Amino acid sequence: MNTSPTGIYYGDYLRLDRLLSAQAPESDRLGRPAHDEMLFIVVHQAYELWFKQILYEMESVREVFARPVVDDRQIGSVVHTLHRIAAILKLVIGHLDVLETMTPLDFLDFRDLLYPSSGFQSLQFRLIEQGLGLRRDDRLDFDKKPFDVRLDETDRKRLRKAGAGPSLSDQIDQWLARTPFVELGGYRFQEEYRRAVDEMLERDAAIVGESPALDESGRKVQLDGLAAAQKRFAAIFDEKRHARQGGWRFTLKSLQAALFINLYRDEPALQLPFRMLSLLMDIDETLTAWRYRHALMVQRMIGMKLGTGGSSGHDYLRQTADRHRIFGDLFALSTFLIPRSALPPLPEAVRRAMTYRYAEDPEA
């Protein structure tokens, strides 16, 4: 390609000579052309390009939270970047629509040529999972072996090296634990919230106890439900209960801060943090949706056959969708939300600390 004397040429800038010559179907090489192998290659190469972009974006987010003191002015940039990652993942799900234009018989034309390679060997996808916070112990074993058993030694070393530092989940946990407004002056969010929860449940119990629409058995069911709710709420108040209940990744202090952000999200200082936590859930949810869609596509393509990488195919992929969640703690917080009508108002000093300066009365 000739470069224009006035500037860089489009094809040279995008390295199209290399990019568009990177598709080499095995079926062509072996003299048994399979038409849909080209589609299969292009879709998976597109995945890897998007994975590269996600890793690039994630690195910028993790750099912000890696600093001893996080610059609040950069949270807006973090929110923007997380939104981009979520959008890319939604686009990645759409690739499955294109891939499913290939029928199972079309796939069988070249499937045996792929053995023993498989998507399990995508180092970049493993780096994304690990970087977000999927821990080794939380992973589903691969045929009773470590999840990275199908990677070559070079990729395994890269994965271990990348996992030496804190994940994004770890960083968010640490950042939440430093939220200043949860305890400010004489205000203690935990105490005010617990009082509001107790009052709300007491009112509900009184309504159930006096309701003429309930018989004794129905009344007992309702009261037992409120007692169970009281026990669930206790997990967000008490350190020992939090530890004993298990299943939590975030510390109790971080969970309370995340709950505070969700409940008082309309306060100016909390709007971006709330958006950030919501986007982390969007990313986790979209990854889960992608895993489910992928599992369904695999079942559609190969039925009950083993995967080319030796896994149980559809069953393994479906289980990873249930198991490989990262920000489940944020989803669980909905358990502890209470109606705005029951939410105790913030003390004026705390509320003022979270407003924009220009919104304040200069004479106040």
- pLDDT above 70 (res 308): no
pLDDT at 310: 47
Segments forming the whole domain that contains residue 234: 10-359
In the chain, % of residues over pLDDT 70: 93
Question: pLDDT tens-digit profile of 195-252?
Answer: 998 888 888 889 888 888 888 888 888 888 888 888 888 888 888 877 777 678 999 9
pLDDT at 358: 61
Are 209 and 283 in contact by the 8 Å Cβ rule? The answer is: no
Distance of CA 266 to the CA centre of its chain: 23
pLDDT at 6: 77
4 in any annotated domain: no
3 in any annotated domain: no
Angle between helices 252-263 and 189-210 (to 10 degrees): 70
- What pTM did the predictor assign? 0.89
178 in any annotated domain: yes
36 in any annotated domain: yes
CA dihedral over 338, 339, 345, 346, signed as positive or negative: positive
- pLDDT above 90 (res 345): yes
364 in any annotated domain: no
Question: pLDDT tens-digit profile of 81-131?
Answer: 999 999 999 999 999 999 999 999 999 999 999 988 888 899 999 999 999
174 in any annotated domain: yes
From 243, 70, 270, 255, select the one nearest 171 (Cα to Cα): 70
1 in any annotated domain: no
Number of domains in the chain: 1
Question: What CATH code is carried by the domain that includes residue 114?
Answer: 1.20.58.480
From 354, 333, 325, select the one nearest 258 (Cα to Cα): 333
128 in any annotated domain: yes
Question: pLDDT tens-digit profile of 10-27?
Answer: 999 999 999 999 999 999
